[in-house]
């Protein structure tokens, strides 16, 4: 297994190149190391290599790692979140990437004792297996969130289809960017919506070219 440090160097260079191609500042892109497949030791290696942001998609695994790592990393919850699990993780996480329904918003609002930065998860590709709201439901959904004062919509998140076709991936990311711009332009006080969480091991360079501000990388950074 290659060191996280050497993987990180390669990924950082590729992100810099993608930014250069489209005239973006690489500083705008934050790497989240998705540690869901790996040990606590490997997560610690990532932190030593300079990673600050960690992503987990299951409450139990997040709690296990949190017990050891505490709030040294910035924690991102990136997986499907069951409403009844909210109270277990709400004091541990810094960002939730998978807000996709009102009942979940209500529970986060109720259990949190501070504003929680959330991404609305969007199913851009329309694949049935994917979670998230269809694009046309995103704005009406966000408009219903004004009353939940512990929720701040910082941006939108998507998972692209698991394919190689670059044009399909690009279109998917571009649609999300367009939607994010539209919502940002509304200047809703509780939904600044300036961020885009998109791009994984297979497609982060395209995502960065299309405007990603958070990329979520597991396999090619820390391993599977
Ligand atoms: C697992 C996962 C990732 C990382 O996937 P890789 O292909 O291993 O980089 C990113 N986002 C979400 C939501 C995930 O569940």
The domains of the chain are located at 4-222
The Å distance, Cα 193 to ligand 1 centre, comes to 22
Assess whether the C-beta atom of 159 lies below 6 angstroms from ligand 1. yes
Residue 224: pLDDT over 90: no
Residue 5: pLDDT over 90: yes
Identify the bridge partners of residue 74 per DSSP, sorted by sequence position: 53
Atom of ligand 1 minimally distant from the CA of 34: 4
- Rounded to an integer, the average pLDDT of 105-131 is 94
Q: What is the best residue among 32, 35, 36, 79 to mutate for testing ligand 1's pocket, by most ligand atoms within 8 Å of CB?
A: 36
Instruction: State percent of the chain over pLDDT 70.
Output: 100
Assess whether the C-beta atom of 132 lies below 6 angstroms from ligand 1. no
- Rounded to an integer, the average pLDDT of 38-52 is 98
Residue 1: pLDDT over 90: no
- Rounded to an integer, the average pLDDT of 33-50 is 98
| 144-199 per-position pLDDT tens digit | 999 999 999 999 999 999 889 999 999 999 999 999 999 999 999 999 999 999 99
Atom of ligand 1 minimally distant from the CA of 217: 9
Residue 125: pLDDT over 90: no
Cβ of 4: how many Cβ atoms within 10 Å? 23
Sign (positive/negative) of CA torsion 174, 125, 17, 182?
A: positive
Tell me the pLDDT band of 29, cut-offs 50, 70 and 90.
very high
pTM: 0.97
Assess whether the C-beta atom of 85 lies below 6 angstroms from ligand 1. no
Q: Residue 69 CA to chain centroid, in angstroms?
A: 20
Q: What is the best residue among 169, 172, 206, 218 to mutate for testing ligand 1's pocket, by most ligand atoms within 8 Å of CB?
A: 218
Assess whether the C-beta atom of 199 lies below 6 angstroms from ligand 1. no
Residue 127: pLDDT over 90: no
- State the Cα–Cα distance between residues 132 and 134, nearest whole angstrom: 7
Q: What is the best residue among 4, 34, 78 to mutate for testing ligand 1's pocket, by most ligand atoms within 8 Å of CB?
A: 34
Task: State residue 130's pLDDT score.
Answer: 79
Assess whether the C-beta atom of 76 lies below 6 angstroms from ligand 1. no
Sign (positive/negative) of CA torsion 202, 203, 205, 211?
A: negative
Residue 126: pLDDT over 90: no
Residue nearest to atom 5 of ligand 1 (CA): 218
Mean pLDDT estimate for the chain: 97
CATH no., domain 4-222: 3.20.20.10
Residue 14: pLDDT over 90: yes
Tell me the pLDDT band of 210, cut-offs 50, 70 and 90.
very high
| 57-90 per-position pLDDT tens digit | 999 999 999 999 999 999 999 999 999 999 999 9
Alpha-carbon distances of 169 from 29, 134, 207, rounded to whole Å? 18, 16, 8
- Rounded to an integer, the average pLDDT of 31-46 is 97
Task: State residue 111's pLDDT score.
Answer: 98
């Amino acid at each position: 297994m290659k060191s996280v440090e050497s993987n990180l160097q390669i990924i950082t260079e590729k992100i810099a190149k993608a930014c250069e191609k489209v005239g973006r500042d690489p500083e705008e892109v934050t790497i989240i190391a998705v540690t869901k497949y790996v040990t606590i030791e490997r997560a610690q290696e990532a932190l030593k290599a300079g990673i600050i942001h960690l992503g987990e998609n299951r409450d139990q695994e997040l709690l296990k790692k949190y017990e050891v790592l505490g709030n040294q990393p910035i924690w991102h919850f990136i997986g499907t979140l069951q409403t009844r699990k909210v109270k277990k993780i709400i004091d541990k996480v810094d960002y939730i990437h998978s807000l996709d329904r009102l009942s979940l918003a209500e529970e986060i609002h109720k259990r949190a004792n501070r504003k929680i930065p959330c991404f609305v998860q969007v199913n851009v590709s329309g694949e049935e297996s994917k979670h998230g709201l269809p694009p046309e439901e995103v704005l009406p959904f966000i408009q219903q969130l004004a009353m939940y004062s512990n929720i701040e919509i910082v941006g939108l998140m998507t998972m692209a289809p698991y394919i190689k076709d670059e044009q399909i991936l690009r279109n998917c990311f571009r649609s999300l960017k367009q939607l994010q711009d539209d919502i940002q332009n509304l200047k809703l006080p509780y939904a600044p919506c300036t961020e885009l969480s998109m791009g994984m091991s297979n497609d982060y360079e395209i995502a960065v070219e299309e405007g990603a501000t958070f990329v979520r990388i597991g396999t090619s950074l820390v391993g599977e």
